[in-house]
Structure 1
Amino acid sequence: GEGGESIYGKPFKNENHTRLKFRYRGIVATANTGHNDNGSQFFITLNETKWLNGLHTIFGKVTGKTRYNLVDIANYETDDNDRPLYPPKILKTEVLLNPFDDIKPRVKEQKKGPKKKKKKYKKNTSLLSFDDQEEGDGEEAVFVPKKKDKSAHTLLADDTTLSTAP
Protein backbone atom coordinates (compact mmCIF):
# COMPACT_ATOMS: atom_id res chain seq x y z
CA GLY A 1 0.00 0.00 0.00
CA GLU A 2 0.81 3.64 -0.06
CA GLY A 3 0.70 3.94 3.70
CA GLY A 4 -0.98 6.72 5.53
CA GLU A 5 -0.24 9.80 7.51
CA SER A 6 1.52 9.32 10.83
CA ILE A 7 0.01 10.38 14.13
CA TYR A 8 2.25 13.47 13.99
CA GLY A 9 0.88 14.58 10.62
CA LYS A 10 4.26 14.17 8.93
CA PRO A 11 6.93 11.43 8.67
CA PHE A 12 8.90 10.87 11.87
CA LYS A 13 12.47 9.82 12.65
CA ASN A 14 13.63 6.28 13.23
CA GLU A 15 13.78 5.33 16.89
CA ASN A 16 16.42 2.63 16.89
CA HIS A 17 17.62 0.94 20.06
CA THR A 18 20.81 -1.12 20.19
CA ARG A 19 19.16 -3.91 22.19
CA LEU A 20 16.18 -4.29 19.86
CA LYS A 21 17.05 -6.48 16.88
CA PHE A 22 15.22 -8.50 14.24
CA ARG A 23 16.29 -11.81 15.83
CA TYR A 24 13.20 -13.95 15.38
CA ARG A 25 9.75 -14.35 13.86
CA GLY A 26 7.00 -11.99 15.01
CA ILE A 27 8.84 -8.65 15.36
CA VAL A 28 6.54 -5.68 14.59
CA ALA A 29 8.20 -2.58 13.12
CA THR A 30 7.38 0.55 11.14
CA ALA A 31 7.68 0.40 7.37
CA ASN A 32 9.43 3.30 5.70
CA THR A 33 10.67 4.38 2.28
CA GLY A 34 13.98 5.68 3.55
CA HIS A 35 15.90 6.95 6.56
CA ASN A 36 13.67 8.91 9.03
CA ASP A 37 10.61 8.49 6.82
CA ASN A 38 8.23 6.49 9.05
CA GLY A 39 4.47 6.71 8.53
CA SER A 40 1.54 4.63 9.70
CA GLN A 41 2.42 1.32 7.99
CA PHE A 42 4.03 -1.56 9.83
CA PHE A 43 5.22 -5.07 9.07
CA ILE A 44 5.69 -8.34 10.95
CA THR A 45 8.75 -10.51 10.35
CA LEU A 46 8.36 -14.19 9.48
CA ASN A 47 11.97 -15.18 10.31
CA GLU A 48 15.20 -13.69 11.59
CA THR A 49 15.96 -10.64 9.40
CA LYS A 50 19.31 -9.19 10.52
CA TRP A 51 19.65 -6.95 7.44
CA LEU A 52 16.75 -4.81 8.77
CA ASN A 53 18.56 -3.87 12.02
CA GLY A 54 18.95 -0.09 12.31
CA LEU A 55 16.67 0.61 9.33
CA HIS A 56 13.23 0.33 10.94
CA THR A 57 11.73 1.21 14.33
CA ILE A 58 10.76 -1.91 16.30
CA PHE A 59 7.74 -1.31 18.51
CA GLY A 60 6.25 -4.71 19.30
CA LYS A 61 6.20 -8.45 18.87
CA VAL A 62 3.68 -11.20 18.30
CA THR A 63 3.52 -13.51 21.33
CA GLY A 64 1.98 -16.79 22.40
CA LYS A 65 0.38 -19.26 20.01
CA THR A 66 -0.33 -16.44 17.56
CA ARG A 67 3.30 -16.62 16.41
CA TYR A 68 2.50 -19.90 14.70
CA ASN A 69 -0.28 -18.22 12.74
CA LEU A 70 2.43 -16.16 11.03
CA VAL A 71 3.61 -19.32 9.26
CA ASP A 72 0.09 -19.77 7.88
CA ILE A 73 -0.04 -16.12 6.81
CA ALA A 74 3.25 -16.57 4.96
CA ASN A 75 1.62 -19.33 2.89
CA TYR A 76 -1.39 -17.23 1.80
CA GLU A 77 -2.05 -17.06 -1.92
CA THR A 78 -0.74 -13.77 -3.38
CA ASP A 79 -1.20 -11.72 -6.54
CA ASP A 80 1.51 -10.54 -8.98
CA ASN A 81 2.59 -7.80 -6.52
CA ASP A 82 3.04 -10.28 -3.63
CA ARG A 83 -0.06 -9.00 -1.87
CA PRO A 84 -2.36 -11.58 -0.26
CA LEU A 85 -5.58 -12.20 -2.18
CA TYR A 86 -7.40 -12.45 1.16
CA PRO A 87 -5.51 -10.16 3.56
CA PRO A 88 -5.46 -11.20 7.22
CA LYS A 89 -7.06 -8.91 9.80
CA ILE A 90 -5.80 -7.98 13.24
CA LEU A 91 -8.80 -8.36 15.52
CA LYS A 92 -7.21 -7.61 18.88
CA THR A 93 -4.01 -6.21 20.37
CA GLU A 94 -2.88 -6.26 23.98
CA VAL A 95 -0.17 -4.30 25.77
CA LEU A 96 1.72 -6.82 27.91
CA LEU A 97 4.32 -4.45 29.34
CA ASN A 98 3.43 -0.80 29.71
CA PRO A 99 6.57 1.34 29.41
CA PHE A 100 4.63 4.43 30.47
CA ASP A 101 3.79 3.66 34.11
CA ASP A 102 3.81 7.37 34.98
CA ILE A 103 0.86 8.05 32.66
CA LYS A 104 -2.43 7.39 34.39
CA PRO A 105 -5.41 6.42 32.24
CA ARG A 106 -8.45 8.64 32.23
CA VAL A 107 -11.05 7.67 34.76
CA LYS A 108 -14.54 7.50 33.37
CA GLU A 109 -17.13 9.23 35.46
CA GLN A 110 -19.10 6.52 37.18
CA LYS A 111 -22.81 6.85 37.50
CA LYS A 112 -24.00 7.55 40.99
CA GLY A 113 -25.45 4.64 42.99
CA PRO A 114 -28.88 3.21 42.42
CA LYS A 115 -31.53 5.51 41.08
CA LYS A 116 -33.51 7.33 43.71
CA LYS A 117 -37.17 6.49 43.80
CA LYS A 118 -39.40 9.39 43.02
CA LYS A 119 -41.80 10.37 45.75
CA LYS A 120 -45.38 9.60 44.93
CA TYR A 121 -47.62 12.51 45.66
CA LYS A 122 -51.24 12.00 46.58
CA LYS A 123 -53.52 13.81 44.19
CA ASN A 124 -55.45 16.63 45.80
CA THR A 125 -59.07 15.90 44.94
CA SER A 126 -60.63 18.64 47.07
CA LEU A 127 -62.97 21.06 45.35
CA LEU A 128 -61.58 24.50 44.74
CA SER A 129 -63.89 27.40 45.39
CA PHE A 130 -63.70 30.57 43.40
CA ASP A 131 -66.30 32.48 45.43
CA ASP A 132 -65.95 36.05 46.37
CA GLN A 133 -64.74 34.91 49.78
CA GLU A 134 -62.14 36.94 51.50
CA GLU A 135 -58.81 35.34 52.13
CA GLY A 136 -58.17 34.04 55.60
CA ASP A 137 -61.82 33.80 56.68
CA GLY A 138 -61.06 30.45 58.27
CA GLU A 139 -63.37 28.34 56.14
CA GLU A 140 -62.04 25.06 54.86
CA ALA A 141 -62.48 23.71 51.34
CA VAL A 142 -65.47 21.47 50.85
CA PHE A 143 -64.59 17.88 49.95
CA VAL A 144 -66.89 16.32 47.37
CA PRO A 145 -66.48 12.55 47.13
CA LYS A 146 -65.96 11.25 43.65
CA LYS A 147 -68.91 9.33 42.23
CA LYS A 148 -68.41 6.11 40.34
CA ASP A 149 -68.49 6.68 36.57
CA LYS A 150 -71.32 5.15 34.63
CA SER A 151 -71.20 3.75 31.12
CA ALA A 152 -73.21 5.20 28.24
CA HIS A 153 -75.39 2.08 28.19
CA THR A 154 -76.37 2.60 31.80
CA LEU A 155 -77.07 6.28 31.31
CA LEU A 156 -79.11 5.77 28.15
CA ALA A 157 -81.11 2.90 29.62
CA ASP A 158 -82.30 5.16 32.45
CA ASP A 159 -83.12 8.10 30.18
CA THR A 160 -86.86 8.58 30.02
CA THR A 161 -86.61 11.00 27.12
CA LEU A 162 -85.60 8.27 24.71
CA SER A 163 -88.18 6.49 22.65
CA THR A 164 -88.77 2.83 23.36
CA ALA A 165 -89.78 2.04 19.81
CA PRO A 166 -87.18 0.46 17.59
Structure 2
Amino acid sequence: SDDLQRVAENAPQVESMSVTLHTNLGDLKAELFCDSVPRTTFNFLALAASGYYDGTLFHRNIKGFMVQGGDPTGAGKGGASIWGGKFADEIHPENKHSARGILAMANSGPNTNGSQFYITYAKHPHLDNSYSVFGKLIDGFETLNAIERTPCNEKHRPLSEIRLEHVTIHANPLADQMITFPSATGAPDVQT
Protein backbone atom coordinates (compact mmCIF):
# COMPACT_ATOMS: atom_id res chain seq x y z
CA SER A 1 0.00 0.00 0.00
CA ASP A 2 1.02 3.64 -0.42
CA ASP A 3 1.04 4.21 3.36
CA LEU A 4 3.48 1.35 3.96
CA GLN A 5 5.67 2.56 1.10
CA ARG A 6 5.79 6.06 2.63
CA VAL A 7 6.66 4.64 6.08
CA ALA A 8 9.45 2.52 4.57
CA GLU A 9 10.86 5.50 2.64
CA ASN A 10 10.84 7.70 5.75
CA ALA A 11 12.23 5.07 8.12
CA PRO A 12 15.65 5.84 9.58
CA GLN A 13 18.53 4.17 7.78
CA VAL A 14 20.53 2.38 10.47
CA GLU A 15 22.21 -0.21 8.27
CA SER A 16 25.75 1.10 8.85
CA MET A 17 25.64 1.32 12.64
CA SER A 18 29.05 0.85 14.27
CA VAL A 19 30.51 0.39 17.74
CA THR A 20 34.00 0.28 19.21
CA LEU A 21 34.81 -2.35 21.81
CA HIS A 22 37.60 -0.87 23.94
CA THR A 23 39.66 -3.73 25.42
CA ASN A 24 42.78 -3.67 27.57
CA LEU A 25 44.64 -4.98 24.47
CA GLY A 26 43.30 -2.34 22.06
CA ASP A 27 40.16 -1.36 20.17
CA LEU A 28 37.87 -3.45 17.97
CA LYS A 29 35.51 -1.52 15.67
CA ALA A 30 32.49 -3.41 14.37
CA GLU A 31 29.62 -2.77 12.00
CA LEU A 32 26.30 -4.07 13.36
CA PHE A 33 23.58 -5.57 11.16
CA CYS A 34 20.66 -3.51 12.52
CA ASP A 35 18.64 -3.95 9.34
CA SER A 36 18.66 -7.77 9.24
CA VAL A 37 18.70 -8.67 12.96
CA PRO A 38 17.01 -5.78 14.82
CA ARG A 39 16.19 -7.71 18.00
CA THR A 40 19.77 -8.97 18.45
CA THR A 41 21.40 -5.62 17.71
CA PHE A 42 18.90 -3.80 19.96
CA ASN A 43 19.82 -6.13 22.82
CA PHE A 44 23.57 -5.61 22.28
CA LEU A 45 23.26 -1.82 21.91
CA ALA A 46 20.96 -1.42 24.91
CA LEU A 47 23.27 -3.51 27.12
CA ALA A 48 26.29 -1.56 25.86
CA ALA A 49 24.58 1.82 26.38
CA SER A 50 23.67 0.86 29.95
CA GLY A 51 27.30 0.00 30.80
CA TYR A 52 26.43 -3.69 31.26
CA TYR A 53 29.53 -4.84 29.35
CA ASP A 54 31.93 -2.38 31.03
CA GLY A 55 34.73 -4.23 32.81
CA THR A 56 33.60 -7.71 31.73
CA LEU A 57 36.12 -10.39 30.79
CA PHE A 58 36.51 -12.42 27.63
CA HIS A 59 36.41 -15.71 29.55
CA ARG A 60 36.89 -18.21 26.70
CA ASN A 61 39.56 -17.97 24.01
CA ILE A 62 40.19 -20.74 21.47
CA LYS A 63 42.96 -20.03 18.94
CA GLY A 64 41.73 -20.48 15.37
CA PHE A 65 38.10 -20.56 16.53
CA MET A 66 36.77 -17.64 18.59
CA VAL A 67 36.91 -15.46 21.73
CA GLN A 68 33.81 -15.24 23.93
CA GLY A 69 32.72 -12.59 26.43
CA GLY A 70 29.79 -10.55 27.66
CA ASP A 71 29.14 -12.43 30.91
CA PRO A 72 29.19 -10.07 33.92
CA THR A 73 30.05 -13.00 36.23
CA GLY A 74 33.16 -13.78 34.18
CA ALA A 75 32.45 -17.51 34.48
CA GLY A 76 30.68 -18.13 31.19
CA LYS A 77 27.40 -19.23 32.76
CA GLY A 78 25.70 -15.85 33.33
CA GLY A 79 24.32 -12.88 31.48
CA ALA A 80 20.76 -11.77 30.81
CA SER A 81 19.28 -9.93 27.85
CA ILE A 82 17.91 -6.41 28.09
CA TRP A 83 14.50 -8.06 28.69
CA GLY A 84 15.78 -9.80 31.82
CA GLY A 85 16.03 -13.38 30.56
CA LYS A 86 16.80 -15.12 27.30
CA PHE A 87 15.54 -14.16 23.85
CA ALA A 88 14.79 -15.89 20.56
CA ASP A 89 17.36 -16.62 17.86
CA GLU A 90 17.43 -14.26 14.91
CA ILE A 91 19.00 -16.14 12.01
CA HIS A 92 19.30 -14.24 8.73
CA PRO A 93 20.37 -16.09 5.54
CA GLU A 94 22.90 -13.40 4.56
CA ASN A 95 24.59 -13.28 7.97
CA LYS A 96 27.20 -16.04 7.95
CA HIS A 97 30.28 -17.07 9.90
CA SER A 98 32.16 -16.37 6.67
CA ALA A 99 35.30 -14.57 7.86
CA ARG A 100 37.61 -13.63 10.69
CA GLY A 101 35.96 -11.01 12.91
CA ILE A 102 32.29 -12.08 12.81
CA LEU A 103 30.23 -11.14 15.92
CA ALA A 104 27.48 -13.52 17.04
CA MET A 105 25.49 -14.34 20.15
CA ALA A 106 26.71 -17.24 22.28
CA ASN A 107 23.95 -19.57 23.46
CA SER A 108 23.31 -22.86 25.21
CA GLY A 109 20.75 -24.09 22.67
CA PRO A 110 17.94 -22.69 20.52
CA ASN A 111 16.45 -19.38 21.71
CA THR A 112 18.77 -18.97 24.72
CA ASN A 113 20.48 -15.67 23.82
CA GLY A 114 21.37 -13.39 26.73
CA SER A 115 24.35 -11.04 26.87
CA GLN A 116 27.23 -13.32 25.86
CA PHE A 117 28.72 -12.96 22.39
CA TYR A 118 31.77 -14.14 20.48
CA ILE A 119 34.10 -12.94 17.74
CA THR A 120 35.43 -15.49 15.24
CA TYR A 121 39.10 -16.00 14.37
CA ALA A 122 38.27 -17.68 11.04
CA LYS A 123 35.28 -18.65 8.94
CA HIS A 124 33.17 -21.36 10.57
CA PRO A 125 30.20 -22.27 8.35
CA HIS A 126 29.20 -25.13 10.69
CA LEU A 127 27.96 -22.43 13.11
CA ASP A 128 25.56 -20.91 10.55
CA ASN A 129 21.84 -21.28 11.36
CA SER A 130 22.57 -22.07 15.04
CA TYR A 131 23.88 -18.72 16.29
CA SER A 132 22.60 -15.18 15.68
CA VAL A 133 25.27 -13.31 13.69
CA PHE A 134 24.88 -9.58 14.32
CA GLY A 135 28.04 -7.84 13.13
CA LYS A 136 31.55 -7.91 11.71
CA LEU A 137 34.83 -6.22 12.55
CA ILE A 138 35.79 -3.36 10.26
CA ASP A 139 38.90 -2.24 12.16
CA GLY A 140 41.13 -3.50 14.96
CA PHE A 141 42.33 -6.76 13.44
CA GLU A 142 45.74 -6.22 15.09
CA THR A 143 43.92 -6.15 18.44
CA LEU A 144 42.08 -9.35 17.51
CA ASN A 145 45.47 -10.90 16.69
CA ALA A 146 46.77 -9.93 20.15
CA ILE A 147 43.67 -11.39 21.81
CA GLU A 148 44.06 -14.65 19.88
CA ARG A 149 47.72 -14.93 20.95
CA THR A 150 46.84 -14.64 24.67
CA PRO A 151 47.90 -17.89 26.42
CA CYS A 152 45.09 -19.95 27.95
CA ASN A 153 44.71 -22.91 30.28
CA GLU A 154 43.37 -26.32 29.17
CA LYS A 155 39.78 -25.05 29.60
CA HIS A 156 40.49 -22.14 27.21
CA ARG A 157 40.40 -19.53 29.98
CA PRO A 158 42.96 -16.75 29.33
CA LEU A 159 45.90 -16.81 31.76
CA SER A 160 45.99 -13.00 31.68
CA GLU A 161 42.83 -10.92 31.61
CA ILE A 162 41.27 -9.86 28.33
CA ARG A 163 38.92 -7.14 29.55
CA LEU A 164 36.16 -5.29 27.66
CA GLU A 165 36.54 -1.90 29.29
CA HIS A 166 33.75 -0.02 27.47
CA VAL A 167 31.67 -0.02 24.28
CA THR A 168 31.31 3.24 22.33
CA ILE A 169 28.22 3.53 20.13
CA HIS A 170 28.96 5.70 17.10
CA ALA A 171 25.41 6.28 15.93
CA ASN A 172 22.39 5.80 18.14
CA PRO A 173 19.24 4.67 16.32
CA LEU A 174 17.62 4.11 19.72
CA ALA A 175 17.28 7.89 20.05
CA ASP A 176 15.16 8.08 16.89
CA GLN A 177 11.47 8.22 17.71
CA MET A 178 10.48 6.41 14.49
CA ILE A 179 11.98 3.14 15.73
CA THR A 180 9.71 0.75 17.58
CA PHE A 181 11.63 -1.24 20.17
CA PRO A 182 11.47 -4.99 19.58
CA SER A 183 10.23 -7.41 22.18
CA ALA A 184 12.18 -10.48 23.25
CA THR A 185 10.19 -12.67 20.89
CA GLY A 186 9.37 -10.53 17.87
CA ALA A 187 10.72 -8.07 15.39
CA PRO A 188 9.78 -4.39 15.51
CA ASP A 189 6.31 -3.45 14.33
CA VAL A 190 5.92 -0.95 11.50
CA GLN A 191 4.40 2.29 12.74
CA THR A 192 1.82 3.87 10.44
Normalised by the shorter chain, which TM-score bucket?
A: 0.5 to 0.7
RCO comparison, higher one (Cα < 8 Å, 6+): 2
Partner of 2:115: 40
Task: Within 5 Å, give how 1:59-138 maps onto structure 2.
Answer: 59-64=134-139, 66-95=140-169, 102-103=176-177
Change (3 A) 1:98 1:61: farther
User: What is the TM-score normalised by the length of structure 1?
Assistant: 0.55
Please state how far the C-alpha of 1:5 moved relative to its aligned partner.
1.7
Partner of 1:111: none
Partner of 2:80: 5
CA contact 2:95–2:134 (8 Å) conserved in 1: no
Partner of 1:120: none
Change (3 A) 1:94 1:70: same
Say what the alpha-carbon RMSD is for the aligned residues.
2.4
User: What is the TM-score normalised by the length of structure 2?
Assistant: 0.48
Deviations 1:46-91 (A, max 9, x none): 1111111111111222221x12221221111111211101131223
Structure with the bigger percentage of helix: 2
Deviations 1:94-138 (A, max 9, x none): 44566668447xxxxxxxxxxxxxxxxxxxxxxxxxxxxxxxxxx
Q: Distance in 2 between matches of 1:97 and 1:19?
A: 23
Percent identical among aligned pairs is 36
Structure with the bigger percentage of strand: 2
SS of residue paired to 1:72: helix
Partner of 2:133: 58
